[in-house]
Amino acid sequence: MSNLPKQGQSFDLGIVYAIDDAGSHGSMRLVDIVKDKRLVFFGGPAPFSRLDTEQATKYAELSQQMLNAGVDMVYGIYVQDAFVCREFENQIDKKVGPNPMVLLGDGDAFFVRSNNLEFDYTQMGLSTRSIRWAAVIKNGRVEHFVNDPFSEITETSAENILKYLNAKN
């Protein structure tokens, strides 16, 4: 995995999908999301799995603190359609309550492929998905990037990203 995103590298390729509050399906160009903003992004291979639920729940719990530490938004991106991501976000919101984190779908895996985050989990019955990763992106460029093996959450934990953000303030 030597082609993983590095500090200063562009991180603005792809289109992601979401269901808005009115229930409408929409697409967003990543280049428009990241422009002139400092954002936290994270992802993993399998929403609703134990580890991805744990990771997303922690990001939801700490998302307001991340905003207070100088980011504009916290996003999770999964190689799933927007409907799955919306249901996953609803599950997290029921546990955590209102929070600013938003989950986005990368249904065709274009985002993960474009940013060298893809992994073939076919042997596990999942096909192409994302590695476990987290990043701070500033104006479309990688400020900070970490990844973990799919079976653990250490470097990519919300606590570690918040610690990074607080150290940079």
Each residue's pLDDT tens digit, 99-145: 999 999 998 888 988 898 987 766 666 677 788 999 999 999 999 99
Domains of the chain, residue spans = 15-168
Bridge pairing between strands 141-148 and 102-105: unpaired
- CATH architecture observed for domain 15-168: 3-Layer(aba) Sandwich (3.40)
Residue with tokens 């422009």: 35
> If you write DSSP's letter for every residue of 103-125 in order, what string do you get?
EEE-TTSHHHHHTT-EEE-GGGT
The model's pLDDT over 67-79, given as tens digits with 9 standing for 90+, comes to: 999 999 999 999 9
Q: Rg (Cα) of the chain, in Å, rounded?
A: 14
